[in-house]
Amino acid sequence: MGRGTPNEAGIAFYQRVLDACERLNITPYVTLYHWDLPQVLEDQGGWTNRKVLDWFAHYVEVCTQAFGNRVKYWMVFNEPVVFTSLGHFLGDHAPGRKGLKNFLPAVHHAALCQAEGARIIRRTVPGAVIGTTFSCAQVVPETDSLADKKAAGRFDALMNRLFIEPALGMGYPVDGFPLFEKLERDYAQPGDMERLAFDFDFIGVQNYYRVVVKHAVFPPIIWGKEIKPEKREVPEDGITAMGWEVYPEGIYHVLKQFAAYPGVKRILVTENGAAFDDLKSGETVNDPQRIQFYQDYLHQVLRAKQDGVPVEGYFAWTLLDNFEWAEGYRTRFGLIHVDFDTQERTVKGSGKWFREFLSQG
């Protein structure tokens, strides 16, 4: 199982999407994996089963053969640390697996697939521009104590370094989190550590908030905990509907951190946005907090660019209110409001602001 017959109806659907992009003069950036593993593969262990390397390679081959003559820009993964940690360690996201016995093999297999998928694109799509995307957050210790600094270092290794450094040929970040020694010792087969590396054309950075960390005896393993915004001196209007702190300067620090790697040539901000409790009044959805969010974060992206960071693009998350994983349809990130009962669309104030902002360029 894993090399079944491609779904021709599914391929035809995405061909129609590409047709629409061509009509509207939209350049598609295709993400190959955004957490949608077929159930038939999950039943066999999914990302914890080393056979996923073969399953994923076959999938990439099918996609590149179907769309390679129409798509130039490719992203292998969306946020691998999220689907491995929330889905295979904490159990908060699908498939709901928990513990190191699930997390560590899922990490190693995903890191291998990240590079192998890119190699397949390079081999099969002439002229492809290849990247992958990472969820990132500025991590800061609550105090200057050594214990808090070490806890912040472990969080940083997990949240920001775990997948970028293997791709750059640096191996896993064991200096920041010694637990990751187990990845090579217990799960890597001969040749694996070399296979983790790929020379990506660009790196996608996705940022929404910063993380403030203190040392703690619980949870174990990481020996630290995040201090949630509501427990800190954060203004009430500085917290999104997801409970995330609005901290624009964080994206500047994340961009600087990733640009510091010698192997990172280009950076795209592939997700940035905010969920607020949008209220529709008649035909209007006013969301001034979201407008301010984008203005402040874009200013910090420009600041990073002016400081020499090779950031070359920005994607807002997101165009339409949508399904937000464990949050369902409760939280709204869109520039366009969606009535989920009628499917009626209403451009929010932020969508109108973005339209005017882009028209000035």
Q: Is position 79 annotated as part of the catalytic site?
A: yes
CA atoms of 7 and 223, how far apart (whole Å): 45
Return d(Cα 345, Cα 361) in angstroms, integer. 26
Selecting among 8, 61, 79, 356, the annotated active-site residue is 79
Is 184 noted as a catalytic residue in this protein? no
Tell me how far apart the alpha carbons of residues 292 and 29 are, in angstroms, rounded to a whole number.
27
Task: Please tell me which residue in 116, 236, 271, 327 is annotated as part of the active site.
Answer: 271
Residue given tokens 């992009």 in the structure block: 21
What number of other Cβ atoms are within 10 A of residue 329's Cβ? 11
Beta bridge partners of 206: 135, 271
CA distance 277 to 281: 13
- Residue 6 CB-half CA count within 13 A: 16
**42 exposure class (CB count in 10 Å sphere: 0-12, 13-18, 19+):** middle
Pairing mode of beta strands 211-215, 224-226:
antiparallel
Residues with a catalytic annotation lie at 79, 271
